[in-house]
Structure 1
Amino acid sequence: MINKLLSVHDLWLVLMASLVCANGSWASISLFDRATRTNGTRQAAWQVLTAIAAGTTVWCTHFVAILAFNPGVPVTFDTDLTMLSLLLAMLGAGLGFVIASMASGPAMPLIGGIGMGLAIAGMHYTGLRAYQVQGTEIWNLPRVMLSVLLAATCSAGALHFAVRSGRTSRLIASLLVGGALIGLHVLSIDALRIVPAAAPGGAMKPGTFQALAVAVTMGAIGVFGTALACNLIDDSTRAESYDKILKMALNDSLTNLPNRASFTQALERALQKAELTGGRLALATIDLDRFKEINDVWGHPAGDDALRLIAERMRACLRPGEFVARVGGDEFAAILHVPDQATLEDFLARIDAALKQPIRVDDRDVATGGSVGVAFYPENAASAQALIHNADLAMYRAKRDPMRRVCFYDREMDEAARLRKRLASDLRTALKQEEFTLHYQVQTAVPTGEICGYEALLRWYHPELGEIAPAEFIALAEENGLIVAIGDWSLRAACAEAATWNPPYKISVNLSPSQFVHPDLPEKIAAILAETGLDPSRLELELTEETIVVDKARALLTVRRIKAMGVTIALDDFGTGYSSLDTLRSFPFDRIKLDRSFVQDLETNPQATAIVRAVLSLGKSLNIPILAEGIETSGQLTILSAEGCDAVQGYFLGRPATPRQIVESGAIIRHAPLPA
């Protein structure tokens, strides 16, 4: 049979048909593999490409192989049947691949393969019917049936392997598709016997067959090349998309610094390296100072600009091997291998310099900074999570201490952190359960010794831990966003209490920075005064200079709106912080409160006396009364009286007391009964 087949075929055209079959089979299976790994519209598109490639492979292999066949008699082609065979090839192959890709069960690839094999056989014999010879065709039906069975069997096997993953499975599937096509052609030609006609008619010239075969082969190669190019383009696009998605997943979109996920990976790698080399690793967590004020005063776009600028400054100061990431809203983290102390100090100095540079916001230079906590591996922690936790503890300690920009972890922080965490949780309960109370400290006019008012001071008596110092729980309330609610409660409670007093002494209440920056503060104060019935002239609100220095223009507008109601404003803690003369000149303060730190040294330190004298003279020149805080001895009071101080308060004159104690002392008479 082989000798017979070789004798009736053009071997060059057979080689061309084989090339078309091999390349087309591989291209079709590769495209189908891509289709099975996608879904939706993309899967449908790949299925169409698979059908085109497979149909082209089947038809072109068949057509070139037929052109290679020399029956020994004149031959012509029926154009309609030839085109019909191409349509059958594409539809049959496409339908087979679609059925095979259905996830209904393992039998679907076999069903789809059998259908595709029958379609290939139908295409083949339709094509042979279009191949019209001048003679009588005699068919061996058993061999024809065998060829159809072979096509169906090989196609079923091909799709069985095609739905599996792996290069080997795709190769086996491609070989089976080729086997179906070659076996079908060989068996069908062997099953055909042609009896020449008595009088030959017109036929196609032999050179035309070669030209058609070359044209069909080139067309097939063009189709395969297009399909494979689509595959390569999709691979490239997917790779680019993957790289882009990976970058988005590992980088912060706002600052373009590595994000928390990238930081976690970098820290794990750094710990592994330190463990292998026996090196020392430093983790620094960084929290920006006063960033919330930028957001509250100028809005979130300004805050975003600030974050981008700070991130760029930190990125610019890095050296090879150093790593900085943004891990939260205004939180950053840095990783550094520490061969010696000088390396660590240099790194922290560069980060601190980047944080301290002013930020230009709305034509103003805003002073910023950051609190930095540092923990070391292996001495402070043995795992990434513990290292992060300990660095955070150190950072929070640095944040609570304005004099320390960088704080290093020590074991005592753990117990303090647990207590703070518990108190932070208990603060919410205290607000709901009304565990807060107000005590009132008397303020006395120096010239006459008469009471001129009281300052409301917040107290918290914890049910289990007893009295908690205001310096401790107020800082916690600020950190946890509770200070505004607590401040509002204090203002309302103080006004309600003072409204019941006779004589109608003035009541002083502190405003926190977070309260003051709220745009509805004047309306809130007006509502509380209306609710409690307190005369606005009896309310004095105390502000620190730190509260108003962030945005002086906006703060001045707020102060003027409050004063327009008749409420007075006092500058608290003067002598600490900024103590700017420009602030005194620009703001219409009704009183200046001299910080206790200057009063404490009056009797022993001539410089403290000189400073107090200067402040009192400044107040007189500006026509602003001065109240000195922290009077604890008669000597301090005598000096202040001699220097012309207007008013004083402190333990020497009276400790903070409850309303009941004040009433019992006879200092006031209450219109309403005291609560039980």
Structure 2
Amino acid sequence: MRIVDCLTNAHNLALVALAALICVLGSWITVSLLKRVRSTRTGTRAAWVFLGSVAGGATVWCTHFVAMIAYEPGVQVTYEPGLTGLSLFVAICGCGAALLMASLRFNGSALVGGLVFGLTVAGMHFIGMAAFAVDAVIHWSTPYVVASVIGSVLFGAAAFKAEKLSTTARNSWLAVVLMVLGIVILHFTAMSAMTILPFVPQDGVLTGDDARQAIAIGVAGVGLLVLGAGAASYALDTQSRSQAEIRLQHLIEGGVDGMAVERDGVIVGANSALLKLVGVERPALLGQKLSRWVEDVARLADGDMVQSSLTTAEGEVLPIELAAKRDHASEGEVMIYAVRDLRARQAQERRIAHLARNDSLTGLPNRASFLERLTRQTDTIKPGATLALFALDLNRFKEVNDLYGHAVGDQLLCRISDHLREVLHEGEFIARQGGDEFVAMAEVSSRAEAEAVAKRLRAAIIRPVTIEHADLACGASIGVSLWPEDADNLSTLINNADLAMYRAKASLTQDICFYEADMDQAVRARRRVTQALREAMDNQRFELHYQVQASVQTGKATGYEVLLRWKDEDGRYIPPSDFIPVAEETGLILPIGEWVLRQACKQAAGWAEPHKIAVNLSPVQLGHVDLPRLVQQVLQETGLDATRLELEITETAMISDMERTTHVLRQLKDLGVTIAMDDFGTGYSSLSTLRAFPFDKIKLDRSFMIELDGDLPQSQAIIRAVLTIGESLSIPVLAEGVETAEQLAFLRAQGCNEVQGYLLGRPQPEADALSNGAAVVASLSDAQPAEVRAAA
């Protein structure tokens, strides 16, 4: 009641209201500046401490003196200027010390700062009261004085603690209220502790109600001016920081990863990606700690990156990658966190790992998985057990691709793969090798059981399927090799299964073949020939032999056919029939054919007589798009006249692609070379071939010469027909394989133009063939009639 009586009866309520306004505004500004001091960096902290100390000191001092002026003790009041100034100095310095202590980073800093603030308010009040002079004796009540100091200290500490617990300046209202209560309780409790006993007035002091009101207005004005300056500084700083946060928000909003900005341990900014990841709205995230949702946040330092987990609002745990970066340019303890969702990357890694071990089309294990499984299976197989390896190849699959397209072919492969999965038993394994080839393995106890597994796999393959309203089915060729019966290493085991599969594919009656050691010598021999051909190319073991061609009527040599010979390491010649087909199958015929063409033109260019050379072209060479360019290049490099070069092709080479082959041959003729049809009469449609392209020569196949010795009328009739066709089309005819004088006499009688065979000379190296060329005339002359010999 004493405090209430002091407030209501001993004070001017209007000035009390002014003091209350100053106190509330000043406390709000002081609390805001205190929060700014906490968040600022060391470099600018002193400036903000200074502003906070001025604003806080002015708040306390102005509130006190306006309230003092509002005090009406019933006697004249005076104020001693020195002590009044000292009270202001104490208020400012004490508030600065309180702000500085509260901003330090140690446990209890807020409470210590609050205690200093409460003591500052009490010290300023009692120093100010010491400057208060009246014409009376002042008596102080010790309990009230102690209560006022305790109240000031407690509420000051509570205000500073509440400010620290608040996250933003807007929710610091509790700290403002506690600070106002601390100041008000101190003042009015301390004023209630004072009892005034009238005394003799003092001289030389300002007295009167007018003077008191003027001082009150002046003090209030100065206080509000100081507080306004502090408030303006804080508002400008707040606006600047708000703009910086907006720019930062725009910056992090553009990130694909989730971004969060923590200041002093709480989130002050987050982008939409993080909100979507966590599954909350922005208000629920701001002001919280990121560690509430993300693990390992506390142990991350500047520049660290770890893989962690995030718990969404629904409780789902997501794998993430968390990176932390300290923002050294911002005020306070600012950390920027990047949260990357790893679900897509982990799914991609799982897909890559799956593709590394599985076929991308069918989903079956691939060759790498097959080799790994085969290695493990052979290493762990029980003694006495047998591992059967199955090589499977689809029959007629190319027809499906050609008729229905590759998309349907892919669907068929997927359906067949599903069928194979369905029939697998426990412990069996199947993989796709590529294309239409599969491989499987199974532990068996006998060949009969292995055959049963092969039949089961074949039945799954040949099962008809319907794709896009078409009923499709493929056959299957399966080769089987057994471990360890058929091989002592994995490479041989796989190779033997392939050999058995190729044998099944070539067979008309068997779809399943077991490997047998003595049945694939031809395949192995072919592989040895292929390797030997490559070595012969590298070591230049090929030779060119020449066989003379002569005119039947004049007996003169008209040219030489170039024939390739291969001498092995033992000095023996390998028949062309043994290596030319292999070279064509493997593609080695291209570099070999180029070597033959280049070497023959180079040698012929140096001959004394400008005889023609006839070079055979393989169908593989003829199908190569660069053949005309190659021939032109060789002629230019060797200097051989194009009219001296004759290229021989077979009918088979033209039949495969008549239009394209005809186009290539016309390009060759445009170069000036001549084109001869070799082995005429043994192809598929000789007459249509002659009609398609104007050949420069027809070479009659040697098989007709062999049959001619048997006096077969059919062979004689065919030879006459071919010679008649050549004469009708104005195409000279050369007969191959002439070995007897009777054959030559028959050809002369029928009007054949040229001949070639052992009767004239065998194929020989260049020097021997040229030196024996003159003997051709003599051998032919002996077989000619007298009038022809005389003309010759």
Give 1:238 shift: 3.5
Shift of 1:542: 1.4
* Distance change >3 Å, CA 251–CA 448, structure 1 → 2: farther
**Equivalent of 2:292, from 217, 224, 248?**
224
Find the counterpart in structure 1 of residue 615 from structure 2.
509
Deviations 1:428-484 (A, max 9, x none): 554455432211223355677664432110112123362222233444545665433
Aligned to 2:482: 377
Q: What amino acid is the match of 1:321?
A: L
Structure 1's 573 and 413: CA in aligned 2 closer, same or farther, altered over 3 A?
farther
Corresponding residue for residue 282 of structure 1 = 390
Alpha-carbon distance change, 340 to 631 in structure 1, aligned in 2, over 3 angstroms: farther
Give the whole-Å Cα distance in 1 for the aligned partners of 2:562 and 2:584: 19
Specify the SS of the correspondent of 2:493. helix
Match of 1:339 in 2: 452
The equivalences for 1:371-520 within 5 A come to 374-378=479-483, 380-381=486-487, 383-391=489-497, 410-412=516-518, 424=530, 427-428=533-534, 430-431=536-537, 433-445=539-551, 451-464=557-570, 466-478=572-584, 482-499=588-605, 504-520=610-626
Structure 1 residue identity aligned to 2:311: L
Note the C-alpha offset of 1:382: 5.5
Matches of 1:197 and 1:629, distance apart in 2: 132
Q: 1:386 to 1:664 in 2, by over 3 A?
A: same
Question: Per the alignment, do residues 269 and 463 of structure 1 end up closer, same or farther by CA in structure 2, a change over 3 Å counting?
Answer: closer
Is residue 2:766 matched to residue 1:659? yes
CA contact (8 A) 1:134 1:196 kept: no
User: How far apart, CA to CA, are the structure 1 residues paired with 2:114 and 2:577?
Assistant: 101
Given residue 769 of structure 2, which amino acid in structure 1 is its aligned partner? I
Q: Is the 8 A contact 1:374 1:406 kept in 2?
A: yes
- Taking a change above 3 Å as real, the CA distance of residues 124 and 465 of structure 1, as seen in their structure-2 partners, is farther
- Alpha carbons of structure 1 residues 134 and 394: separation in structure 2 relative to 1, 3 Å: same
Q: Which moved more, 1:532-541 or 1:281-290?
A: 281-290
Alignment-derived partner of residue 535 in structure 1: 641
Question: Distance in 2 between the 1:325 and 1:270 partners?
Answer: 18
Change (3 A) 1:435 1:272: closer
Distance 1:506 1:436, change over 3 A: same
Which residue does the alignment assign to 1:148?
Answer: none
Residues 273 and 429 from structure 1, CA distance in 2 versus in 1: closer, same or farther, beyond 3 angstroms? Answer: closer
Seen in structure 2, the aligned counterparts of structure 1 residues 218 and 504 have a Cα distance that, compared at 3 Å, is closer
The two structures have a TM-score, normalised by structure 1, of 0.52
The match for 1:238 among 342, 345, 353 is 345
Structure 2: unaligned runs, 5 residues or longer: 1-29, 42-103, 120-148, 173-282, 295-309, 313-317, 321-339, 422-429, 442-450, 465-474, 777-792
> How has the CA–CA distance of structure 1 residues 646 and 308 changed in structure 2, closer, same or farther, with 3 Å as cutoff?
farther
> Residues of 2 paired with 1:272 and 1:604: CA distance?
69
Please show how residues 28-427 of structure 1 align to structure 2 within 5 Å: 122=105, 124-126=107-109, 197=151, 220=288, 224-225=292-293, 227-229=310-312, 231=319, 234-250=341-357, 260-265=367-372, 280-284=388-392, 314-315=413-414, 320-321=419-420, 325=432, 333-336=437-440, 338-339=451-452, 374-378=479-483, 380-381=486-487, 383-391=489-497, 410-412=516-518, 424=530, 427=533
Distance of 1:643 and 1:275 partners within structure 2: 78
CA distance in 2, matches of 1:511, 1:525: 11
Q: Which residue of 2 aligns with 1:60?
A: none
Deviates more, 1:411-420 or 1:480-489: 411-420
Tell me what 2:627 maps to.
Answer: 521
Task: State whether residues 545 and 565 of structure 2, in contact with CA within 8 Å, keep that contact through their aligned partners in structure 1.
Answer: yes
2:7 counterpart residue number? none
Does residue 568 of the first structure (1) align with residue 674 of the second (2)? yes
- Find the aligned partners of 1:527 and 1:347 in 2 and give their Cα distance: 55
List alignment gaps of at least 5 residues for structure 1. Answer: 1-76, 89-120, 137-194, 291-302, 352-369, 670-676
1:544 is aligned to 2:637: no
C-alpha spacing 1:629/1:396, structure 2 compared with 1 (3 Å): farther
Q: CA deviation at 1:511?
A: 2.2
1:123-178 residue CA offsets vs partner (Å, 9 max, x unmatched):
65446658889999xxxxxxxxxxxxxxxxxxxxxxxxxxxxxxxxxxxxxxxxxx
- Taking the aligned partners of 1:286 and 1:432, their CA distance within structure 2 comes to 37
| Cα pair 1:285 1:334 within 8 Å, conserved | yes
Q: Any idea what SS the aligned residue of 2:566 has?
A: strand
CA separation of 1:408 and 1:490: change in aligned 2, threshold 3 A: farther
> Cα gap change, 1:494/1:127 in structure 2, threshold over 3 Å: closer, same or farther?
same
Instruction: Give 1:231's aligned amino acid.
Output: P
1: CA distance between counterparts of 2:683 and 2:408?
A: 26
1:556 to 662, 669, 685: 662
CA distance in 1, matches of 2:742, 2:387: 60
| Offset at residue 240 of structure 1 (A) | 0.8
CA distance in 1, matches of 2:559, 2:672: 16
Quick one: percent identity of the two aligned structures? 41
CA contact (8 A) 1:372 1:394 kept: no
Higher relative contact order (CA 8 A, sep 6+): 1
User: Judging changes above 3 Å, is the alpha-carbon distance between structure 1 residues 86 and 639 closer, same or farther for their aligned structure 2 residues?
Assistant: farther
Q: Give the distance between the partners of 1:499 and 1:336, measured in 2 at CA.
A: 59
Q: Structure 1 residues 375 and 470 mapped into 2: Cα distance closer, same or farther (>3 Å)? A: farther
- Separation (CA, whole Å) in 1 of partners of 2:753 and 2:512: 41
Instruction: Report the number of matched residues.
Output: 476
Cα separation, 2, equivalents of 1:595 and 1:371 = 40
Q: 1:490 deviation in Å?
A: 1.7
Q: Does the 8 Å contact 2:367/2:431 carry over to 1?
A: no
Q: Deviations over 1:92-119 (max 9, x none)?
A: xxxxxxxxxxxxxxxxxxxxxxxxxxxx
Q: Is the 8 A contact 1:537 1:566 kept in 2?
A: yes
Does the Cα contact within 8 Å between 1:447 and 1:641 map onto a contact in 2?
Answer: yes
Distance 1:581 1:313 in 2: 43
Q: How much does 1:570 deviate?
A: 1.8
SS in 2 for 1:528: helix
Query: Letter of the aligned partner of 1:589 in structure 2?
Result: F
One-letter amino acid matched to 2:452: P
Distance 1:459 1:449 in 2: 27
Structure 2 distance, partners of 1:257, 1:605, is 63
Query: For the Cα contact (< 8 Å) 1:507–1:538, is it kept in 2?
Result: yes
Q: Distance in 2 between matches of 1:623 and 1:398?
A: 50
